[in-house]
Amino acid sequence: MSRDINRRDAIVQLGAVAATAGLGPGGSEALERRQNRSPGDAAHAGRIKQSVSRWCYARIKLDDLCEAAKGFGYKSVELLDEADWATPPKHGLQCALANGFGTIPVGFNRPDNHDKLIAAAEKMIPAAAAAGVPNIVCFSGNRAGLSDGEGIQNCIAGFKRITPTAEKHGVTLCLELLNSKVDHKDYQADHTAWGVQVVQGVASPRLKLLYDIYHMQIMEGDVIRTIRDNFPHIAHFHTGGVPGRAEIDDTQELNYRRVMQAIADLGYTGYVAQEFVPKRDPLTSLKQAFDICDV
């Protein structure tokens, strides 16, 4: 999920950085891995590269968030505007995914939006490449009465105008899948099959899906099977506890450790970003989420 009005207004209760964190599902395995690390090796390299979604921790200074995330083992802090892209590299991290062009309601499913979106994309893509940002999030837009077939064809036409630039600069555009049931009423790219049709229609290696596990659990369920069946079309993942987008531990319904194992078994080399809004001490929860997903 990308930055929008809900993100800007998100209220996160902050506390001190905890020295330890709950282990959650699979915690004993995570503990064993930590015990086997050499002194100072906080950034243990598991099979999943993990990232942090900035908006969930908006009240923590970005530099402080980067330092905390790095200490827990994260490799990226993401969903940043261009002005902040240079901050994670100062801390030895990457910005794995940039805030993109357009908004969740206003996207590529309407031709009237294309010229403005494409102009913004043509500026942002080379800038992201120069800054070492590999991915940019983008959106279908809301239906507003548009049929699925029309929305798909309009998105294909719009994305085909910018994927040559993305290919030239080696930046991947990530069409985000969001739920239209709870959080983003009327959003059109609300099922994996819809997004896959757009990606296949554009037929560029630089347009893929941002598969948000939280959103697709709400809309579809059957997460592991869906990821396996559509893996070639997925470039990036987001997390979040269901229901409520809180911690990804055993307070919610998904077994995130098993989902991460399935993703890793597919040979995934991209990033999984934690995008939950913590109900407890945020940095304690952020560390716990790292351990859950460290497979």
Has residue 72 been placed in a domain?
Answer: yes
- Write out pLDDT tens, residues 228-286: 999 999 999 999 999 999 999 999 999 999 999 999 999 999 999 999 999 999 999 99
* Residues 220 and 192: beta-carbon distance below 8 Å: yes
Question: Which residue range(s) make up the domain with 135?
Answer: 5-10+22-37+44-293
Give the pLDDT of residue 44: 58
Which residue would you say has higher pLDDT here, 239 or 26?
239
Cβ atoms < 10 Å from Cβ of 101:
25
16 in a domain, yes or no? no
Per the structure, the count of domains in the chain is 1
Residue 46: predicted pLDDT = 83
CA distance 289 to 51: 11
Let me know if residue 117 belongs to a domain.
yes
Opening angle at CA 25, ends 257 and 190, nearest 5 = 45
Residue 15, in any domain of the structure: no
* pLDDT at 141 > cutoff 50: yes
Q: What is the pLDDT of residues 43-83, one digit of tens each?
A: 454 899 999 999 999 999 999 999 999 999 999 999 999 99
Residue 31 has pLDDT above 50, yes or no: no
In a domain, 17, yes or no: no
Q: How many helices (H) and strands (E) does the chain have?
A: 12, 7
Q: Does residue 182 fall inside a structural domain?
A: yes
Could you read off the pLDDT of 193-207 as tens digits, one per residue? 999 999 999 999 999
> What DSSP character marks residue 154?
H
As given in the structure block, the two tokens for residue 15 are 């506390």
For residue 247, give the CATH number of its domain: 3.20.20.150
- Burial, 231: exposed, middle or buried (Cβ in 10 Å; 0-12, 13-18, 19+)? middle
Q: Would you state the pLDDT for residue 15?
A: 36
